[in-house]
Structure 1
Amino acid sequence: MPIHTHPLRTLIDSLRRDTFFLILLAGLAVLAIATRRPLGDYPALVDWPTIGALAGLLALTKGLEMSGAIGWLGHRLVGAMASERKAALSLVAASALLSTVLTNDVALFVVVPLTLGVCRIAALPATRLIVFEALAVNAGSALTPIGNPQNLFIWQQSQVPFAQFVLHMLPLVLPMMAALLALTALAFRSRPIAASAEHRRRQIDRRLLGVSLALYIPFLAAADMHHAGWAVLAVLATFLVLRARVLAQLDWGLLLVFVLMFIDLRLLAGLEPVRDAMHGFGLDQPKHLYLAGIAASQLVSNVPAAIALAEYSRDWRVIAYAVSVGGFGFMAGSLANLIALRMSGDRKAWIGFHAWSVPFLGFAAALGYALLFWLD
């Protein structure tokens, strides 16, 4: 008889192995002593609309993933690849497109395993492909408010309409994607590859697929109207009744990480020496804010950078550009980079990643600067 691990036990085991969570937890302990703020104040430090929107998106994307539809589409795509260059362009473009609606992390969870499978069959350069897919999800996810956690936070904080956010990011994302696709075409050869043999029939849970798709647009509309709390309750209740296993496999640990991130960063921002230092950077000036966002992303990744900068400025347009650009460069710039390199299984993948990502940061930073301050 198979032994089923209790979801709570699985969550605890996962958190015990999550280095980032443990760092945040240790930071909370230190900050609690330093600030002496009552524990009852901590829930007010969390941006609950952002957490609600993230929880709903995680549930809906998990539903799509568990329905089997994404895997089926991926394998259909594989069959159409005829050369190394076309395979690379297809996978990079697919990564970027998926990241606009499934978030950058989820896009990687879909595309990277598929890439590794294709590379085993066709002897493609797996590490280089995964590096370019990491760059692609950083670029593509910048387009929409739901493409990545930092955009989700900025969108909920700014309360701008979905379409307005997209229109603001479009001039940055289109040239970045054009440059990335051109770079992909240069980095991969045109040699023919054998068609993938993995076309085994895949079962699709049509009911789960239908429910996930049916809830997606109403959820986004509700979040756009600032009703993310009620919307996520409706989504979770629907899955609880129809497919409880979706909730059991949801990444609840990621939500806890974001809750801790809000508390830690806002406690830190409340310390007088930190506030004095941050005010000394002149973050009220858009150019300083833009450069600070890129630099902070390189040090702590772009999600914490967005949360921290929001404590000192409400200029969402500049912050959104800064943390989107900041996802490139060093691998710490975005959690998606770390996920992709970890999934590659290549301990030296970080070398190839930086060889492509650091120069791309220079291009993206100059592009964002020009769009914000020269062409505006």
Structure 2
Amino acid sequence: MTGRRWLDRLLQEWLLLVFAVLALVLALLDPQPAAAWRRWLQVPTLAGLTGLLVAIQGIRDSGLVQHAAAVLVARTHSLRTLGLLLVTGTAVLSMALTNDVSLFLLVPLTVAIGGMSNLPVLRMVVLEALAVNAGSTLSPIGNPQNLLLWQHGGLSFLQFAWAMLPAAMVMFTLVAALTWAWLPHDRVALAPEALDRRAVRGGLATLSLGALAAMVVLMEYGQALSGAALLLAVFALVARRSLARLDWLLLLTFAVIFLSLGHLAELPQVHGLLARVDFGQPLHLYLAGILASQLISNVPATVLLLEHARDPVGLAVAVNVGGFGAAIGSLANLIALRLARQPQGLRQLHRVSIPFLLTCAPLVYLVWRWLG
């Protein structure tokens, strides 16, 4: 890619530019030592994303996703049934493999299915973004905020999951109902001319699946940086074309988001504002978690509110609900849209996710307080 094309593409990355400007403004107004910037950058998280992107790009290039999509479409007759199957699979995977990993697996599959059938891809990807927020809510390892709060709260795995069950049930029920109502009541129409009849590249598929599994395990044991370095080295030797097609600007976007929002969350003015709120009141904690997530994403919001919250489960419910609404509420939303690469994706997400938040938030609170 020439320098001119890189510049043109960079100018289209408005999210990257907005947060880069925010990071620069904060750096000028509130200078901080290098150690603070390293902390905000969240290198292990970025390394994990890099490794996952490498593995998924290899799976895409192997033709395995396209083959799996053809098999799934051939065995499903209704678009609504297919949609519920994808939404349920996304939610279940997010409980065990985290919300990001499940999207890395399911969104490329969804795009491939849409390329060979009449499945509305953008609608489906928006539903999958909602589904990972719902599914990952239940599991202590489903997303970064749950992992942090689970360890902080001192609950067992099952105790945490049981405490989160009412909220997760409401969320997933709403996602399933939306899936059934929003997808067309049509049969799956397969377009034979759109089928990719090339043979699966078995070597690349095996390497990439192994790389994905290894990366998930290494991330679980805190070795994301080593795992990403290993995958980059291996793919540079045996699958250089896949490495060249990697979405490097997505990684750069997340880097500036981490830097800017991490800095913003630690401003003295922000902490002064929080000191005035009575977080002992469940409703105050709930609303603060949702609002903070809408402004700075739910993982930074968790870090920001952790020292003020007396109830880690209450905070977990709040920030997971806060993953709905604005796209920035959960970084999983941005990953889903970026993997799908559909026109008007951000606008479509907000058309659905904001009303979803306004419906979901009061219902979750009522059920959580009633059963909690």
Q: Give the TM-score category using the shorter length.
A: 0.7 to 0.9
| TM-score (structure 2 length as normaliser) | 0.76
Give 1:106's aligned residue. Answer: 104
User: Structure 1 residue 58 and structure 2 residue 53: aligned?
Assistant: yes
Give 1:164's aligned residue. Answer: 157
Give 1:275's aligned residue. Answer: 271
Give 1:49's aligned residue. Answer: 44
Give 1:81's aligned residue. Answer: 76
Question: Structure 1 residues 206 and 318 mapped into 2: Cα distance closer, same or farther (>3 Å)?
Answer: farther
Distance 2:249 2:140 in 1: 22
Answer whether contact 1:14 1:253 (CA < 8 A) is retained.
Answer: no
Distance 1:266 1:348 in 2: 23
> Greater CA deviation, 331-340 or 178-187?
331-340
Deviation for aligned residue 1:156: 6.7
Give 1:208's aligned residue. Answer: 204
Deviation for aligned residue 1:362: 4.4
Number of residue-to-residue matches in the alignment: 362
Question: Structure 1 residues 114 and 96 mapped into 2: Cα distance closer, same or farther (>3 Å)?
Answer: farther
Question: Structure 1 residues 363 and 308 mapped into 2: Cα distance closer, same or farther (>3 Å)?
Answer: same
Distance 2:30 2:346 in 1: 41
Amino acid at match of 1:46: L
Answer whether contact 1:112 1:344 (CA < 8 A) is retained.
Answer: no
2:240 corresponds to which of 225, 237, 244: 244
User: Structure 1 residue 155 and structure 2 residue 147: aligned?
Assistant: yes
Aligned-residue Cα RMSD (Å) equals: 4.1
Distance 1:87 1:229 in 2: 37
Answer whether contact 2:302 2:319 (CA < 8 A) is retained.
Answer: yes
Deviation for aligned residue 1:272: 2.3
Answer whether contact 2:294 2:325 (CA < 8 A) is retained.
Answer: yes
Q: CA-to-partner distance for each residue in 1:13-70, whole Å, 9 max, x for gaps?
A: 5444321221122112211221133457522443222222232222222222222212
Partner-residue secondary structure (3-state), 2:275:
helix
Deviation for aligned residue 1:73: 0.8
Answer whether contact 1:58 1:250 (CA < 8 A) is retained.
Answer: yes
Give 2:16's aligned residue. Answer: 21
Give 1:90's aligned residue. Answer: 85
Give 1:298's aligned residue. Answer: 294
Distance 1:359 1:325 in 2: 13
Question: Structure 1 residues 67 and 305 mapped into 2: Cα distance closer, same or farther (>3 Å)?
Answer: farther
Question: Structure 1 residues 270 and 362 mapped into 2: Cα distance closer, same or farther (>3 Å)?
Answer: closer
Distance 1:10 1:310 in 2: 43
Give 2:32's aligned residue. Answer: 37
Q: CA-to-partner distance for each residue in 1:142-194, whole Å, 9 max, x for gaps?
A: 456786xxx24663797689x93994656543543344224433444654454
